[in-house]
Structure formats: C-alpha cells, structure tokens
A and B are shown apart, each in its own frame.
Chain A
Amino acid sequence: MNIKITPDAAVEMYRTMKLIRRFEEWVTVLVEADEIAGVTHESVGQEAVPVGVCSALRDDDVMTSTHRGHGHIIAKGGAVPYMFSELMGRESGYNKGRGGSMHIADVSLGIYGANGIVTAGMPMACGAAFVFKSRGEDRVAVSFFGDGGVNHGLFHEAMNLAAIWELPAVFICENNQYAITTPIESVVKVPIHTRADSYGMSGESVDGMDVEAVYTATRRAVERARDGGGPSFIECQTYRYVGHYTAERHMKLNYRSEEEIELWRQRDAIEGWAGRLIGQGIWTEDERATVDAAVERELDEAIAIARQAPWPETGSYLDYVYAREYPGFPARGSDL
C-alpha cells in the first residue's frame, strides 16, 4: 500500500502537533499559577505520536488514552476550550469538571477517556473493538499506553484477547524511554514491539519523532483491522522533554541527563516536520508563521473562555454516580 499525505493534511498535522505542544506549555504555566489543580502530565516532545496515529483514524473510530492524554484528545478532535475548562474544574468542561486532566473524555468523538491507571484502557479498547466486529462495522479501536505499561498484567491479557478474537484493535505503545524515573531497559529484556509476536499479532517499532512514520504504520494497521485482519501493535520511539508531571520541575530527581534530553530535542518532531514541508516547497516560512499565530490565538481564546466559565454547583456532588438513583443513595457523609 502506498500511503501519501496530501499537502493540506501535512499542514494539518503540523498545526495539530503545534497546538498540542503549546497547549501543554500553557498547562505548565497554569499549574504553576494555581489555575489548574491536581496532577498534570505534559506530553511535550511526544506530539508526533498522537497526531500520526489519529490522522489515520476516522471520526467514528474510538481510542482509549492515558494519564498523559492531552495530546491524544486534541489529535482525536478534542476542542481546547472544553479541555481547559475541564482542567480548571469548570461545569462547562468535557467532564463537567468531574474528571480533570487524567480523565478527559468525549464519547461522541470516540474518546473513551484518559485514564489514571496504567493500561486500564487496553481491555476497554478490546471490548469496543469486539462490538464493532460483531455488528459488522468497519470501525477500529485504538489504545494508547506508555512503555511502563508493557509489564502490566492487563497489557498481556488485553493483547491476547485481541489476538485470539481477531479484534479490530490497534495498540500504540508510546515508548518515551521512562516510567517516571524507571528506564525502560531496566524492566524489559526484549525490544518491546517483539512482544506482539508471542500473541500472534503483527508488531513493529517506528520513529515516534517522525509523524509520517507513525501515520504510515498506523494507516497500515488500521486498514488491516478494518479488513478483518485483526489487531496490531506499534511501538513509537519517543521522548518527553519535561518531567513526568508538572511538579517534577521542583523536585530533585536525577534519573536522566540534560545531554540526553538535548539529543532528543535535536530530533524535534515539530521542527523536523516543518523543515521537511518547507524544504519540499510545499510550504513557506510565512505560511508557518500564520499557522503558529492562529494556534496562539486559539489557545488564548480557549483559556479566556475557561477562566470565565462557571464552577459546578456544590450541591451537585452526588450527581452522575448512578444512571438510576434510589432514595438515600449514594450516601452522604453525614446524616445532619
């Protein structure tokens, strides 16, 4: 299969990567300013993975995301005003302020949720894929997870389920080389993508700093899944330039060197892609500047909207637990 990216699509890939990068940089600023609470995991450096993957999906395909999920959500069509509103805990956020950074979801966009538990989305993607398959729909379910996830029991159980039932699922391992402070090579003995073999599933490793490589591999996997060819596994070699979570800026962890970070920065996916488009004459510096400015405006406006957005009503804290409620449930914390 010869997979071509049209100039428009190429520019859109750039725009989305840039939007993710700048979104994440804003998250850091807003966390530091106490405008966003909780724990936030930025994906700065990894943008080519969600963009490459989601560019190969249709709107009606679904995906599960992780604690480092902002990029996945933007790439799957998430709107940044609703994301910032969620991160600021507002009623107008994607999850009505109930979820926050680690749980953003929009089921109507096929986003079955970021997730705070490593690999928790993998079996869910299998379940969704099973439904598509059994209804005869050619939709695909994608699951993102990190390198740290590949040692979890759920990883292995989900991979096997997808393989034995030949599910239209695509597993995307974002290998950013670390699980918090733990280097992947200290906890895995084989190249990660080779694990797919043991489940009878196609597996490959791609340069996760190259959006085209990620896109091409995902397109192939998605086509295979749509055609009834079963699941695939793609390991994307990537890197986060920033800490595991925002708070790491203020912690003295030394699990990696500045030199290592710098080496990866030199392979930056966004700069690399812009350079290629301009080098090939598809694009000009001016056009790039226009896109960049539009991204800044979009984020400025989204943050302004979120800042004005209303907070949830305190009295609504018992809402949304059950689809059907019974008197006295869920129990309040006091009988007064």
Chain B
Amino acid sequence: MRRLRYLQAMNEAYHQEMERDEEIFILGEDIRGNLRGETYGLLDRFGPNRVLDTPISEAAFVGFGTGAAMAGMRPIVQFQIATLIYLAFDQLVNNAAKMRLMMGGQVNIPVTYTVMATGARNGLAGQHADNPYPFFLHAGIKTICPSNAYDAKGLLISAIRENDPVGYFAPAGCLSQRGEVPEAPYAIPLGQGQIKREGTDVTVIAVGQMVGEALKVAESMSSEGISVQVWDPRTLLPLDKEGVCSAVAKTGRAVIYDDANRTCGFAAELSSLLVERVYDELVSPIKRVTRADVPIAFSAPLEQAALPSQVGLANAIRSICG
C-alpha cells in the first residue's frame, strides 16, 4: 500500500473533508505559507474564503471559530505550536468547551483544533516543548493524539465530523514518520484504542510519539524473555475504558508511558482508572513513566533527563516483571 508521512496524511484528510463539506474552513497562522506541509495546496483548491491566514491573535481566532460554529460552519483552527493554546485558554476552556451546556444544548460547537508539533524535542526549550493535552482533558475537551500516519488521517476525519470541539494533538516526533495510508477517506471512531503489539507479561499504555518508542522497547525486551503488549489509546477523551481495562487485565501488569507532566497528567488519570476497575487482576503496582514536572531546559542532557526515555520504560518494565 501507499506510504505517506503523517503530515501528508493530515493534508489528505483536510483536502478530502473540505471537498466533501463546504461548511468546513481552516484558519490559523501561516496556513497559506504551508510551513510544514499539512496545509499544502489548500489555498489553491479552496480559495481564500476557506483558507484564512490570521493575525497573531490566538484568543481571537479561537473565539472566531466558536462564533462561526454557532453560525453553522465547521471550522478547523490550527495552532502552529502546541503551547499557543495557552494564549487562548479562556476562549477554549471558558467558552468553547462550556457553551453547549450553558446554552442548554441550543448549539453544537463543531470545531477541530489541530495542535501542531506537540512535545517537541532537541532544544526547543521552555516555551516550545510542552505536551499540553492534560489541560484539555481537565477542561473536558475531546482530545486525540494519533501516533502514526494511518491514525492521523482516520482520526482527523472523525474529529472534523464530530459535533463538539475536538483537540487534535500532532506529536512533533511523529510528523515526518511514514506509514501505510489508504487513499479513500476513512474515519476511525473516537474512543477506540488499539493493541499495537500483543504480549502476555505487561501492558504498556503509550501516548502519541511514545507508541513508536514503546514498540522498540517491546522488541528488545523479548530477548530478556519479557513479553510486552503495547496499547495505544489514540483518543484520550473519549477514552476506550473497556479496551484499556481488558488489555491490562490480560497481562496483570501495566506501565503508562506518557510524555506529559506527571502531576494530574493523563498517566495519573489512567492509573486511577485501572485501580478502580481492574485492581483484582493486577499482580503488581502500576508504573508511570512520564515527563518530570519541570519546564524543559534547552541543553540536550537536561532535556533528555526530564523526558520519559526508552531506558526508563525498560527499567519500569523490569521492576515489575522480575
């Protein structure tokens, strides 16, 4: 089958969905300039009314998306880098996320926020390296974090078709990776995790760019006689609770491998879910391998020390599979 890069898969999803539904339009910074490739060709195909370059006004363009949604459109709002969601926090959390309930269900807010290059590496430093999806989860915004090109396309299509705000976090480390991607449009339903590798001793739950790393660790641990299963939630809210519980129940052990901050992070939430639901099946404590709760320092050795690593994951697995 055809192999596409993650960004090309996103690009194809944008094209196919905008082709299908004239109510979809996209806005953000340097969308027309097409810095990375995911917005390639959109301006030529769909014209300036559906492909908007905004001023550097994050709060305003998020609110703009909310208003356009109320008026019947389906905006895609792109954040050039992940931490820019902080600039628009009120419009996201206090407005877009709450509007439907506050209005007693009078409107839907079908906006997709594509949050690009989340969790960046290699010297992006304090303000450009966060993985801020737990903020969305805490605020109750539907949240997706596709780990590969196939999921990137199928989940972007679902996000765009969803009738609520959806945050789509595209991990920096995945953007140039290739995978098999069918040309015809396809939608991967929200709330369906996936076992990316079968195993019997321990289930590693990995998010975004951690999935590829977990698969590598799983491969190398087989030589130590440890059979590692890798489960990818794909969507964090809605979370496939059945899926994760049965994956963990099967192995009796769980390690959560997540590149977001530790305190109140996705791993913390998942860990308590597992304790609540599958405590009786667990044969060892749940382990979390996350980011440290520090701003990411610029210098390479400090950055590496603060981020979850394959070595850290392997050690966590050994510590409970001994």
Residues of A within 8 A of B (CB): 36-39, 86, 89-91, 95, 97-103, 115-119, 148-149, 151-153, 179-182, 186-188, 251, 253, 255, 311-318, 321, 329-336
Contacts and interface: CB of A to CB of B under 8 A. Distances in A.
Nearest to B262: A331
A151 B53 CA distance: 13
A180 B29 CA distance: 9
Interface of B: 29-30, 32-35, 53-57, 59-60, 83, 87, 122-128, 262-263, 287-295, 297-302, 304-308, 312, 315-316, 319
A106 B295 CA distance: 19
B298 A314 contact: no
Contact of A151 (B34, B56, B128, B287): B56
A336 B316 contact: yes
Nearest to B124: A38
Given A90-B299, A331-B263, A103 B124 contact: no
Q: Which 8 A-B pairs have the closest CB atoms?
A: A181-B33, A38-B123, A100-B298, A37-B123, A89-B299, A151-B55, A97-B299, A116-B127
Contacts of A317: 292, 294, 297, 301-302, 305-306
A55 to B, nearest CB: 29
B29 A334 contact: no
Contacts of B289: 333-334
A267 B60 CA distance: 37
Given A39-B124, A187-B55, A336-B315, A98 B304 contact: no
Given A37-B300, A100-B298, A180-B33, A329 B319 contact: no
A153 B128 contact: no
Contacts of B304: 314
A179 B298 contact: no
Given A180-B35, A181-B30, A317-B302, A100 B57 contact: no
B306 A100 contact: no
Given A37-B122, A38-B122, A336-B316, A180 B295 contact: no
B291 to A, nearest CB: 5
A38 B301 contact: no
Most chain B CB inside 10 Å of its own CB: which residue of A100, A151, A179: A100
B292 A318 contact: yes
A253 B307 CA distance: 32
Given A102-B128, A118-B56, A331 B301 contact: no
Most chain A CB inside 10 Å of its own CB: which residue of B33, B54, B122, B308: B33
B294 A321 contact: yes
A336 B59 contact: no
A97 B298 contact: yes
B35 A333 contact: no
B30 A180 contact: yes
A314 B302 contact: yes
Given A117-B87, A181-B35, A251-B35, A100 B301 contact: no
Nearest to A151: B55
A37 B123 CA distance: 5
Given A99-B125, A116-B128, A330 B293 contact: yes
Contact of B127 (A117, A253, A335): A117
Contacts of B288: 334-335
A335 B319 CA distance: 11
18 contacts: A89-B300, A99-B297, A103-B127, A179-B29, A181-B33, A182-B30, A182-B53, A253-B34, A253-B35, A312-B301, A314-B301, A314-B304, A317-B302, A317-B305, A318-B292, A331-B292, A333-B262, A333-B312
